């Protein structure tokens, strides 16, 4: 999030003036790196949840399909990097291709803006590196689009091509997921419910059943309709980046106007003829 340049200065000065307060929590966070995740799921449902920034190291077998899930918020851009330590070359029979696929909460394939998303390791290679930078998560998108939205994301690491003889050999996978904050587009929009899938078993209804009982818990149609107050709040939500920009612009304009005016009042050589 960007703040207006006018406001950066006072904030920075304030932060410098009271170092113990502002530095305290940051310093406390520093010495405890997030614990390494040592597990991986084998399906979308059983994917291991990972916080962005948390290192993952898992031992597995060639041919396994490994799943992790992580949450992204609007405006974030995530990068996934995977290193697969391959089995000893003596046991292998040929080249193997590894692929890192990223899916959103609805299990829709997500494009990588930078890769390589898949790489082929030669028979004598010791490791293979994969990388995938996702698109910036949008705050809102039409239901018909497949734009990245806030919610759960799944990472699947699999060997997409390998000799059949090489199945089941030991590998080790290191995964690093990072998320970088940014401005969410479109501004002022919000997805009411993140794309986080349900993991509970469902229940079927009799064909002539009334409205499902479960709906009493979830917001009903009436309550989900936007109220006028909420509409106003959404449009003039404080503090929005646009407010800072506009106010900053107004202040600058006023200052410039005063400056311009005073230039003409206190004559200088370059504005008026010398008296």
Partner 1 sequence: MITRRWFAGGGLLGLLAALTFFGAPPGAADDGGAGGPAEPPKVELVLDVSGSMRARDIDGRSRMAAAQQALNEVVDALPAETQLGIRVLGSQYRFPGSPKAVGCRDTRQLFPVGPMDKVQAKAAIATLRPTGWTPIGLALRAAARDLGTGETTRRIVLITDGEDTCSPPDPCEVARKLAAQGTHLVVDTLGLTLDAKVRRQLTCIADATGGTYTAVQHQKELTGRLNQLVQRAGATYRQTPRQVAGGAQCADAPLLTPGVYTDRERFSEHRWYRVRVAPGQELRASISLSLDRRLNPDHGVLLRAVSTDGQELVRGTDAGSGRTDVRSTGLRWAERQVKADASPTSGSGSDLRPVCLVVSNSFSSPAYVRTAPGMPLELTVDLVPSSDAPGGPDLGRGWLLLVVLTGTGLVAGLVMGWLARWRVATFKEN
Residue among 102, 103, 96 at smallest CA distance from 119: 96
By CB under 8 A, name the one of 11, 89, 113, 220 that touches partner 1.
220
By CB under 8 A, name the one of 33, 189, 233, 239 that touches partner 1.
189
Binding residues among 5-64 for partner 1 as defined by CB under 8 A: 5, 39, 41-46, 49, 51, 59-61, 63-64
By CB under 8 A, name the one of 265, 268, 269, 275 that touches partner 1.
265
By CB under 8 A, name the one of 70, 128, 133, 134 that touches partner 1.
70
Least distance (Å) between residue 19 CB and partner 1: 28
Q: Is 162 in the site for partner 1 (CB under 8 A)?
A: yes
Q: Is 195 in the site for partner 1 (CB under 8 A)?
A: yes
Binding residues among 122-141 for partner 1 as defined by CB under 8 A: 139-140
Q: Is 206 in the site for partner 1 (CB under 8 A)?
A: yes
Q: Is 115 in the site for partner 1 (CB under 8 A)?
A: no
- C-alpha of 111 from chain center: 14
Q: Is 246 in the site for partner 1 (CB under 8 A)?
A: yes
Exposed/middle/buried for 195, CB within 10 Å: 0-12, 13-18, 19+? buried
Q: Is 143 in the site for partner 1 (CB under 8 A)?
A: yes
Q: Is 113 in the site for partner 1 (CB under 8 A)?
A: no
Q: Which is nearer to partner 1, 36 or 165 (CB)?
A: 165
State the residue for tokens 């992580």. Answer: 70
Least distance (Å) between residue 200 CB and partner 1: 4
Question: Using an 8 Å Cβ cutoff, are 88 and 63 in contact?
Answer: no
3-state SS assignment for residue 46: coil
Q: Is 237 in the site for partner 1 (CB under 8 A)?
A: no
Phi and psi torsions of 156, nearest 5°: -120, 125
Q: Which is nearer to partner 1, 40 or 133 (CB)?
A: 40
Q: Is 116 in the site for partner 1 (CB under 8 A)?
A: no
Please give the Cα distance from 40 to 59 (Å, whole number).
9
- Does 186 sit behind a cis peptide bond, omega within 30 degrees of 0 on the bond before it? yes
Please give the Cα distance from 136 to 77 (Å, whole number).
4
Please give the Cα distance from 244 to 11 (Å, whole number).
14
Q: Which is nearer to partner 1, 12 or 213 (CB)?
A: 213
Least distance (Å) between residue 185 CB and partner 1: 10
Return the C-alpha torsion angle 45, 49, 55, 61, nearest 10.
-20
Please give the Cα distance from 106 to 127 (Å, whole number).
31
Tell me, by CB under 8 A, how many residues bind partner 1. 112
Q: Which residues neighbour 155 within 8 Å (Cβ) at sequence distance 6 or greater?
A: 67, 68, 69, 70, 80, 82, 100, 101, 102, 175, 177
């Amino acid at each position: 999030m960007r703040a207006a340049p006018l406001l950066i200065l006072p904030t920075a000065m304030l932060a410098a003036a009271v170092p113990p307060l502002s530095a305290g929590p940051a310093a406390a966070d520093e010495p405890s790196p997030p614990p390494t995740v040592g597990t991986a799921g084998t399906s979308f449902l059983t994917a291991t949840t990972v916080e962005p920034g948390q290192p993952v190291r898992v031992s597995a077998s060639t041919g396994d399909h490994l799943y992790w899930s992580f949450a992204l918020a609007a405006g974030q851009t995530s990068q996934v990097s995977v290193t697969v330590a391959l089995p000893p070359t003596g046991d292998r029979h040929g080249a193997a291709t590894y692929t890192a696929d990223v899916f959103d909460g609805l299990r829709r394939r997500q494009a990588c803006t930078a890769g390589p998303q898949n790489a082929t390791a030669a028979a004598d290679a010791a490791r293979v590196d994969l990388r995938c930078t996702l698109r910036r998560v949008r705050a809102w998108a039409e239901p018909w689009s497949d734009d990245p939205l806030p919610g759960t994301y799944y990472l699947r690491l699999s060997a997409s091509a390998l000799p059949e003889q090489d199945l089941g050999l030991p590998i080790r996978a290191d995964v690093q997921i990072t998320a970088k904050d940014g401005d969410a587009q479109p501004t002022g929009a919000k997805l009411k419910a993140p794309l986080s899938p349900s993991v509970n078993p469902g229940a079927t209804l009799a064909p002539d059943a009334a409205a499902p009982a479960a709906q009493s818990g979830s917001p009903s149609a009436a309550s989900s309709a936007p109220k006028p107050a909420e509409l106003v709040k959404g449009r003039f939500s404080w503090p929005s980046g646009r407010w800072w920009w506009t106010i900053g612009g107004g202040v600058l304009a006023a200052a410039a106007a005063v400056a311009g005016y005073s230039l003409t009042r206190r004559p200088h050589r370059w504005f008026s003829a010398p008296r």
